[in-house]
Structure 1
Amino acid sequence: MAADLTSPDGVGLVSERVSERFGRADVLVHVAGGSHAPADGFAALDEAAWQDELALSSAGRPEA
């Protein structure tokens, strides 16, 4: 399944699909990651890009 784990809708979709297939989830391990950073690395990121990277790579959306 493909879902945007940086958005509440994407997290909700994953939560629904996991519940449908497996029932209640006792543990969820976040292994999503990636980067949209330019070749110059983190120093080249503006604030919006920095927050986008954090949302995808480390924070995810825990409110599901």
Structure 2
Amino acid sequence: MADKQALHLIQSMNEKASVPLVEKIIDGEEGEGEGAILTSEGENMIKLFEGLEKEIQEFLDNKSAMLKI
């Protein structure tokens, strides 16, 4: 994924959330390096998403078993 696209997705996520999920960081006194870190709310959001993903998979597995697929 291109940096520009990644930045756009991060901005979009942060704007839609009630609090920032990702924060931009600048390393070094001269701003030589940039990066991003997840906020604690961002980490919680990932955990919630993973739980939802698991629930959806279990639902699909159960329905497939009922239909004998």
**Structure showing greater Rg:** 2
Quick check: which one's strand share is greater? 2
Q: 1 or 2 for the larger relative contact order (CA 8 Å, sep ≥6)?
A: 1
Quick check: which one's helix share is greater? 2
TM-score calculated relative to the size of structure 1: 0.30
